[in-house]
């Protein structure tokens, strides 16, 4: 077959884009060459519906080994008792939990999307909000932290069957103990979606939700630094069996219900090449050097947040405990929307995303905020001394977002510096 130059040229351009710029999207990272190699392997050819040892296809003995390895490494990483490594994405992992724990129309409680929550925690345009009755809690306006009083009050009056902690744009540690207490009080299942801080948690730098929640979900591609995908985990104390009866009338164990909710409930054949790449990433996360990496992610974020504050920006909650931060542009540039800011920064090869801030006066399409994160630049090798330099470049762009000459000058400085941080071995 002739080489598909059209698509490989596009891939080359994307590799160049990733290499020349400063990547500040909080949910992105650069995987290792081994993760890429496993993902691009012959394992993509294999159908393996079912689970290791119980497949619906022949010839699965080899992929069984890699899926088991992924499971064992993931258990070790978080001290989990049971895991499922098949969800194709974070949203798929969440969908499986909903399917296992709730019936259509049941109430559940999650963080308000415009206060940092995720689509799959109850947005009206997502399955979670369309098929189930979504209730929400907020962050407090005065300090940008989760309003646990409000969470408890909604839980006690509405009696949701499931309470979700976890967010897409929240820079603080969670009070899992407090949420677990109210969940126990009302008989709800407590789920933590640790997609964003999963890598910091694996490195022991933030509290491990597996110790507090009945069920934990995650993506594997953010701070964790694996291939795109999802996982589900459970710790020691999940009720087993849970007591929910299946359509056939049997009472099933929660682990079995979650397994069936992933396959055949919401997915078909697992992506065994991605599962092998997850195994590689979990193996990397078990190495001592991974803790150094995550410490640097956290330090870079803290220094970056401080540099923003020094320049007169407002950071929601005043700082960060993890890898990300949400900047409210209104204090420094009241007329600048997140949409325009994102576009100007991208033109300067600084990639970030517009984001609503809590109690935003603008819509989700315009926004008053930008979200920044340090996982990718830290993988690239940038240390804390470079964070004020980055913030200064951002400030120069945002001060004159329409000035093309100014943007070009910043872009040249970005490109000249980033050449010093090689990215891919190939
Ligand atoms: C907290 C949280 N959960 C779930 C997801 C969904 O992950 P995916 O995009 O892999 O479906 C995200 C993605 O940003 C997230 O931030």
**Which residue has tokens 């000035």?**
403
Q: How far apart are the first and last CA of the chain?
A: 23
Where in the chain is CATH 3.90.1150.10? Answer: 291-418
Give the span between the Cα atoms of 223 and 257, in whole angstroms. 28
Report the separation in Å between the CA atom of 319 and the middle of ligand 1, taken as the mean of its atom positions.
22
Whether ligand 1 lies within 6 angstroms of the CB of 220 is answered as no
Ligand 1: residue whose CA is nearest its atom 9: 90
207: annotated active-site residue: no
Say yes or no to pLDDT of 426 above 70.
no
Confidence at 241, pLDDT banded by 50, 70, 90: very low
pLDDT of residue 38: 98
pLDDT tier for residue 425 given thresholds of 50, 70 and 90: confident
Contact, 387 vs 395, CB < 8 A? Answer: no
195 CA → ligand 1 middle, Å:
6
DSSP-derived letter for residue 85 is: -
CB 294 near ligand 1, within 6 Å = no
* pLDDT, tens digit (0-9, with 9 covering 90-100), for 253-309: 888 899 999 999 999 999 999 999 999 999 999 999 999 999 999 999 999 999 999
DSSP strand pairing (54-55 vs 50-51): antiparallel
Chain mean position to CA 25: 11
Q: Residues 51-76: what's their mean pLDDT?
A: 98
Condensed to tens digits (0 to 9), the pLDDT of residues 369-384 reads: 999 999 999 999 999 9
Q: Which two tokens stand for residue 293?
A: 């990496």
Q: 33: closest CA among 228, 219, 277, 270? A: 277
User: Is 47 a known active-site residue?
Assistant: yes
Whether residue 129 has its Cβ less than 6 Å from ligand 1: no
Domain with CATH 3.40.640.10 in the chain: 33-285
Q: Evaluate: CB of 166 within 6 angstroms of ligand 1.
A: yes
Does the annotation count 193 as an active-site position?
yes
pTM for the whole structure: 0.96
Residue of the nearest CA to atom 8 in ligand 1?
90
CA angle 337–342–344, rounded 5-degree value: 100
- Indicate the top mutation candidate among 86, 110, 120 to test ligand 1's pocket, ranked by most ligand atoms within 8 A of CB: 120
Q: Mean pLDDT over residues 11-27, rounded? A: 97
Please report the pLDDT score of residue 424 as a whole number.
83
* H or E stretch covering 273: helix 272-285
Tokens 């420094």 identify what position?
332
Q: Are 107 and 248 in contact (CB under 8 A)?
A: no
Nearest CA residue ID for atom 14, ligand 1? 168
Q: What is the pLDDT of residues 204-213, one digit of tens each?
A: 999 999 999 9
Residue 355 CA, ligand 1 centroid: distance in Å: 15
- Give the pLDDT confidence score for residue 1 in this predicted structure: 82
| Residue 241 near residue 253 (C-beta atoms within 8 A) | yes
pLDDT at 363 over 90: yes
Q: Domain 291-418 carries which CATH code? A: 3.90.1150.10
Order of strands across the sheet that contains 324-328: 314-315, 324-328, 369-373, 353-355
pLDDT at 252 over 80: no
Which class is domain 33-285? alpha beta
**CA 77 to ligand 1 centroid distance, Å:** 20
């Amino acid at each position: 077959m002739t080489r598909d130059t059209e698509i490989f040229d596009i891939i080359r351009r994307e590799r160049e884009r990733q290499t020349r710029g400063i990547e500040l999207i909080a949910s992105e990272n650069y995987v290792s060459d081994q993760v890429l190699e496993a993902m691009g392997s012959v394992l993509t050819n294999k159908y393996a519906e079912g689970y290791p040892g119980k497949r619906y296809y022949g010839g699965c003995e080899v992929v069984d080994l890699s899926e088991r390895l992924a499971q064992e490494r993931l258990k070790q990483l978080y001290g989990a008792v049971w895991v499922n490594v098949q969800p194709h994405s974070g949203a798929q992992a969440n969908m499986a939990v909903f399917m296992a724990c709730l019936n259509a129309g049941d109430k559940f409680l999650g963080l308000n999307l415009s206060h940092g929550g995720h689509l799959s925690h109850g947005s009206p345009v997502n399955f979670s909000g369309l098929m189930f009755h979504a209730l929400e809690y907020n962050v407090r306006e005065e300090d940008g932290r989760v309003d646990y009083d409000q969470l408890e009050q909604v839980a006690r009056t509405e009696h949701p069957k499931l309470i979700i902690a976890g967010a897409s744009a929240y820079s603080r540690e969670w009070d899992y103990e407090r949420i677990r207490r109210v969940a126990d009080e009302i008989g709800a299942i407590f789920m933590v979606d640790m997609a964003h801080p999963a890598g910091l948690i694996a490195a022991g730098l933030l509290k491990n939700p597996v110790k507090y929640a009945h069920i934990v979900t995650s993506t594997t591609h953010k701070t964790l630094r694996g291939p795109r995908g999802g996982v589900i985990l459970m710790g020691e104390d999940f009720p087993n069996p849970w007591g929910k009866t299946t359509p056939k009338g049997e009472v099933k164990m929660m682990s079995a219900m979650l397994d069936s909710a992933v396959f055949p409930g919401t997915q078909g054949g697992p992506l065994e090449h991605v599962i092998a790449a997850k195994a590689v990433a979990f193996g990397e996360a078990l190495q001592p050097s991974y803790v150094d990496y995550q410490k640097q992610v956290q330090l870079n974020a803290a220094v970056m947040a401080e540099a923003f504050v020094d320049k007169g920006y407002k950071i929601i909650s005043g700082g960060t405990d993890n890898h990300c931060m949400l900047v409210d542009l209104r204090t420094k540039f009241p007329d600048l929307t997140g949409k325009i800011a994102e576009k100007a920064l991208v033109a300067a090869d600084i990639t970030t995303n517009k984001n609503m801030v809590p109690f935003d006066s603008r819509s989700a399409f315009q926004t008053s905020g930008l979200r920044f994160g340090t996982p990718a630049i830290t993988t690239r090798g940038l240390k804390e001394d470079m964070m004020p330099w980055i913030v200064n470049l951002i400030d120069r762009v945002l001060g004159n977002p329409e000035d093309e000459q100014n943007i070009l000058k910043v872009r040249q400085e970005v490109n000249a510096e980033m050449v010093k941080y090689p990215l891919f071995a190939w």
